[in-house]
Amino acid sequence: MPAWRNISLWMDQLAEPLVARPFLEQDLDVDVAIIGAGYTGLWTAYYLKLHAQGLTDDDYRWLSPEQLAEQIRIAKPYGGIYAPHVATIQPAKLVRGLARVVEHMGVQIYENSPVTHWQSGSLRTDKAQVRGSWIVPAVEGYATTLAPLGRYQLPVQSLIVATEPLPASTWDEIGLNRGQAFGESSRQVTYGQRTADNRLVFGARGGYQFAGKLRHNFDLTDNEVELRRYLFGELFPQLKKVRISHAWGGNLGMSRRFKPHMLCDQQTGIALSGGYGGEGVGASNLGGRTLADLILGHDTPLVHQPWVLKQGGLNALKAWVPEPCRWLGYNAIIRSFVHEDQTLANPNTAPWRRKLASSVAGFMEGFMH
């Protein structure tokens, strides 16, 4: 038996029981039908019901290793980029509270009602049909369940662990005194944060399954948990033996350009936001606000941002290459990223080898774009 519980820490901390809302069993005529009540769907509903500023590059500053140590103390630091206008949240409480708020505003949410067919102006479940002026597929990492969206967004898995609450003395060694979040600038994404109850939550390096197959079982294996322990132990050697209390994961959506996209097709009445690449808890708020402005026809700064695709509908999105090229390409890229990390982490590596490893990894990353 593993020492950890295969459950999301965020879900485990919810005080109220998770009770499913009623499923859809009768036809509806609505203004906007949203497929998916995750962050994008709920934020879009919120900002459609309610009508809200920005940052510049001056809000980001480079930190020397000494300055970085004032924020976080990691092994072998080179420096970092600091953004002060960032806060961490409890994401399970956010999505549950957001659902409660939009319901109080008059939005109807139905659960256990998978969409079996969708098109311009309507969608269908096993029991009912919904007709609407607008259809908003807000399914992100589950785009493969709604053809043809799976051609444009691939499901990639992200795996996360949480430690037991750590004593104050350990946090004195690590830093993060104000609950800062952090991420490594490696091409292989790692990220973490200090929780309100003094745990370290750490995620890293998910995976891609052949043909974009969704992963439904997130009972992490010993190897999956220990890899993440090894990775955060490289940053914080004092945590190598710490107990893992929670382990979980999820599917996220990756666009072909590795960039988010938002579009609103006036001809078909289809609007969507996605391709967040693992940044959806925050980016979905921007997506929801933008879709609300696009659907309502508001000429705001949001609708003129570079990630807003104003023409072409779904055809404006770049499709992924078919299998097996997709799977082979993904694994080739990951291997080049691993080689780059290993090469750059070795201080004895010759400069030409370091340059070559970075050039190959950069080429592979650009090739997928």
Q: What is the pLDDT of residues 204-230, one digit of tens each?
A: 877 889 988 999 999 999 999 999 999
Q: What is the pLDDT of residues 285-339, one digit of tens each?
A: 999 999 999 999 999 999 999 999 988 889 999 999 899 988 898 888 889 998 9
Q: What is the pLDDT of residues 221-255, one digit of tens each?
A: 999 999 999 999 999 999 999 999 999 999 999 99
Q: What integer pLDDT is reported at residue 99 of this predicted model?
A: 96
- For the chain, which residues make up each domain, given as ranges? 9-316, 325-368
- What is the band of 66 on the pLDDT scale with cuts at 50, 70, 90? very high
Q: What is the pLDDT of residues 15-25, one digit of tens each?
A: 888 889 999 99
| CATH superfamily ID and name for 9-316 | D-Amino Acid Oxidase, subunit A, domain 2 (3.30.9.10)
DSSP per-residue letters across 84-107: SS-----HHHHHHHHHHHHHHTT-
- Can you say whether the dihedral through the CA atoms of 107, 108, 111, 113 is positive or negative? negative
Q: What DSSP element (H or E) covers 43?
A: helix 39-49
Q: What integer pLDDT is reported at residue 57 of this predicted model?
A: 67
Q: Is 94 exposed, middle or buried (0-12, 13-18, 19+ CB in 10 A)?
A: middle
Q: What integer pLDDT is reported at residue 24 of this predicted model?
A: 92
**Predicted confidence (pLDDT) at residue 55 exceeds the cutoff of 60:** no
Q: What integer pLDDT is reported at residue 369 of this predicted model?
A: 66
- What is the band of 54 on the pLDDT scale with cuts at 50, 70, 90? very low
Compute and round to an integer the Cα radius of gyration of the chain: 22
Q: What integer pLDDT is reported at residue 176 of this predicted model?
A: 94
49 within 8 A of 103, measured Cβ to Cβ: no
DSSP per-residue letters across 308-346: EE-SSGGGGSPPPPPTTHHHHHHHHHHHHHHHHHHHHH-
Q: What DSSP element (H or E) covers 193?
A: strand 190-194
CA distance 221 to 211: 22
**Predicted confidence (pLDDT) at residue 52 exceeds the cutoff of 60:** no
